Amino acid sequence: MDFLVLFLFYLAFLLICVVVICIFTKSQRLKAMVLGGAQVCSRVIPQCLQRAVQTFLHQLFHTRHPTFIVLHLLLQGLVYAEYTCEVFGYCRELEFSLPYLLLPYVLLSVNLVFFTLTCAANPGTVTKANESLLLQVYKFDDVMFPKNSRCPTCDLRKPARSKHCRLCDRCVHRFDHHCVWVNNCIGAWNTRYFLIYLLTLTASAATIATVTAAFLLRLVTVSDLYQETYLDDLGHFQAVDTVFLIQHLFLAFPRIVFLLGFVIVLSMLLTGYLCFALYLASTNQTTNEWYKGDWAWCQRWPLVAWSPSAEPQIHQNIHSNGFRSNLREIFLPATPSYKKKKK
């Protein structure tokens, strides 16, 4: 049973790393390395196996399905099951504060609410009914978002900051990205839910990491392990050091130590992405706009549009109206055009 839990944690961690690389890595050099590695592997792996793997990866990353939602809930359930069955009980024996131990469950409850809202909410689908209204929400910059452009798939005029999602097969107003973990696009009408979901997920992982680390430190302190000595391979007595302590704790509490390492790495990844998402929100940018604009220099093909004078026009963020206004636009997305229509 212990081996099965550790294997599931390890498998989930590998999948998280693969998804992070596939979604957030835009480096052309890394893509070239991946393609080079794929070419080398193609000479060794049989064609039938290659086709099966390609079909699986296409279904996994290029079609809309709930696989990653199931994985997300399974992984979250495993983490909280381990925390409840072992860490919580041991911490109660060591007389940890009960509100401190219950905080991860409060964060989990809030997280699941906003996870559900992010999954179920309409991100801002552009339809024939709201096309003319959404065209008035944002200004066109004629560089990244030219006027009078149409989506060839939906056959609709594209509002500024919108994009067609291939996975969902729809145009999304203020498109940010498609998140496989919620099986939905992140757009104008559910970005607020996504940010709170991401914030509570990061906080819950960090809280579990903190409680687990505090338990192990308290255990070492109470048992006076750091004052003990051990016999090394040469028969000499050595003072207990950090490496020995970690090895001893891993042998005594393998799942708890593995859980701690997992949630620490997860907390670091989530914190980094949360900071990036908050930066985009505070500057009124989307992931799509950031990638095509400010990050394009890394790929040495900056997004430009040529004017009649043959001089390039580089994209600039014309939608930022200050920190408070930018956040208000996300958490209170206004549609003044609808009000005009009611009048």
What are the beta bridge partners of residue 157?
Answer: 150
CA distance 277 to 326: 13
Neighbours of 238 (CB within 10 A): 11
CA distances from 178 to 23, 127, 169, 181, 296 (A): 9, 18, 11, 9, 19
Residues belonging to the active site: 179
Selection from 93, 129, 87, 119 nearest residue 194 by Cα: 119
Hey, what amino acid is at 100? Y
CA distance 39 to 189: 42
CA distance 124 to 247: 51
Cβ atoms of 149 and 157 closer than 8 Å: yes
Question: Tokens at residue 274, please?
Answer: 């949360």
Q: What dihedral angle (degrees, nearest 10) is formed by the CA atoms of 60, 61, 66, 68? A: 90
Cβ atoms of 226 and 245 closer than 8 Å: yes
Taking each helix axis from N to C terminus, what angle separates 323-331 and 254-282, rounded to the nearest 10 degrees? 110
Neighbours of 87 (CB within 10 A): 24
CA distance 327 to 110: 20
Q: Where are the beta strands (DSSP E) in 211-291?
A: 229-231, 237-239
Question: Tokens at residue 270, please?
Answer: 């989530």
